[in-house]
Amino acid sequence: MTADFLIIGSGIAGLSLAIRAAKHGKVICLTKGSLLDSNTAWAQGGIASVLAESMRDEGDSVELHIADTLDAGAGLCNEAVVRTIVSEGANTIDDLIHYGVDFDKKNGHFSLGKEGGHSKRRILHARDTTGREIAEALVAQARITENLILLENHFAIDLITTGKLGMVADDRVLGAYALNRDTGEVEIFRSDRVILATGGCGKVYLYTTNPDSATGDGVAMAWRAGATIANMEFIQFHPTCFYNPAASGAEARSFLVSEAVRGEGAILINQKGEDFTKKHDPRGSLAPRDIVARAIDHEIKRTGAPCVYLDVRHKPTGFMKERFPFIYDTLLRFGLDCEKQPIPVVPAAHYQCGGVVTDINGKTTLRGLYAIGEVACTGLHGANRLASNSLLEGNVTARRALDEMLAHLHPNRESVELMDIPAWEHGDTAAPDELVVIYHNWDEIRRLMWDYVSIVRTDNRLRRAATRLRNLKKEVREFYWGHRVNADILELRNLVSVASLIVDCAVKRKESRGLHYTTDHPNTKATHAIDTRTRKF
């Protein structure tokens, strides 16, 4: 199939771009699972934006939002990018409302929340399932949009480039190979405008708040195609993932308790009921996520306790059920009434701040390839993402990427259609006993990343991780080339690639900054406060 725009991913970035792009040509949107299987759909807190003056929190301004973002980013944000994305946020909120997103209101005005690192209330939300509200509205709009083909269960394997076909003089993207999971066949999708909107890589860690689909596919594909990747050492750990070892099931292991709960007054306490966070930052439980996650990690290691607690018992009866019904009901299903008992929590992998290096318009270093949303490294987040800036970034860069493509990258469908792209060659089907090894490798990668490349790092742990990952990459490569591809093999291949990129980037950063904290280099170095786009690994 050939398209003017080939979009890989179906979160806020991918779908908002797809809907807009369909007015200008044929769009194919691939997603490896269902359209609602995205990090966007799992987002609870909301989307940060400074609204028109009559609708914003008293004293809030675009300049304050910029300042909060720069502060959270620990000296590594690209200020020009921050200024652009924050300034354009309000206009994209209008787009979402037009598509049917119903943000909470009070007395006719938007009900704005507050989260860690924000100096004012500026988080638009739909109770505590904002991402789901946005995702469902975008999917509904996409399904009725002409010129837009939505293909679920299509797992993009690799980008097709002229370089890979031997035409190195003009390296550009030509499309992608994708596995049709319903038929088991690999199909060719042709386009000279390919947009990665694949989300993040949370599943590279043993404990994560992300859905199972977050296996770093876009970063791995871009890396194999020759695009520049940067700052993958900055993996954000959300401070408050529900901790309940007695509960079973994926939801129990990855259930996020939104930062917005702390924004409404919840306090982190230890087993003695002490607010330990104030020892680490005067903002306490509402400090930026890197600080709070390290404070929790320090407290758990200091006391030997398995977790800390989020306390909302001081709030009025009924408050949690009204403001955070999804969180309240989910905790209740696990046997915990959060209005009477403190919520046990631990940090878990949540968001990648690095990724495929792009400019403010999503343009990568490979001609015709764009990346938007979490998969991209625009310079907005720096060394630590400010809460609820992710949905904002995806929505703004989707609009800017389309404008850039329409203005500067004219489609050349005829040449793409005539290009001789070889058909996919299948390997043999993996034997059942070999599949066991695949699953073992999957678990081993996630566990070693959690043990060696987590919230606090050391040179020795990073070296151990790098050594083991080299061996795992060799094993995975043999599986990939020796067997017929399936989703498990493809995800494992991407996981080991992304894990290696995280470790390689972490080894190169000989300082502690934002989300990258190492006991061997505890200080922050002024010489390392550089534009993210200059770091190429």
Place of tokens 């002229």: 162
**Cα Dmax for the chain:** 70
Where is 165: in which H helix or E strand? none
Place of tokens 């990459």: 473
Distance in angstroms (rounded) separating the CA atoms of residues 225 and 197: 16
Distance in angstroms (rounded) separating the CA atoms of residues 239 and 236: 9
DSSP, collapsed to helix, strand or coil, labels residue 186 as strand
DSSP 346-397: EEEEEEES-EEE--TT-B-SSBTEEE-GGGEE-SSSTTSPPTTHHHHHHHHH
Distance in angstroms (rounded) separating the CA atoms of residues 332 and 318: 13
Strand order from edge to edge, sheet including 229-230? 229-230, 355-357, 376-377
Distance in angstroms (rounded) separating the CA atoms of residues 137 and 152: 17
Among the listed residues 86, 123, 119, the one whose alpha carbon sits nearest the alpha carbon of residue 103: 123
Yes or no: say if 103 and 97 are a contact pair by the CB < 8 Å rule.
yes
Distance in angstroms (rounded) separating the CA atoms of residues 57 and 359: 31
Distance in angstroms (rounded) separating the CA atoms of residues 492 and 478: 12
Taken in order 188, 189, 194, 196, the sign of the CA dihedral is negative
Residue 178 phi, psi (nearest 5) = -140, 140
Q: Is 190 a catalytic residue?
A: no
Q: Which of 253, 289, 400, 493 is catalytic?
A: 289
Contacting residues for 388 by C-beta, under 8 A, at least 6 apart: 45, 46, 47, 48, 115, 118, 123, 259
Structure tokens at 537: 């690994």
Centre a 10 Å sphere on the Cβ of residue 135 and count the other Cβ atoms it contains: 25
Distance in angstroms (rounded) separating the CA atoms of residues 498 and 232: 8
Give the Cα-Cα-Cα angle 474, 480, 486 (nearest 5 degrees): 140
Taken in order 238, 243, 249, 255, the sign of the CA dihedral is negative
Q: Is 107 left (phi over 0), alpha (psi -120 to 50) or beta?
A: left
Among the listed residues 189, 107, 109, 118, the one whose alpha carbon sits nearest the alpha carbon of residue 155: 189
Centre a 10 Å sphere on the Cβ of residue 129 and count the other Cβ atoms it contains: 20
Residue 295: C-alpha distances to residues 73, 80, 87, 329 (Å): 18, 31, 32, 28
Instruction: List residues with catalytic annotation.
Output: 289
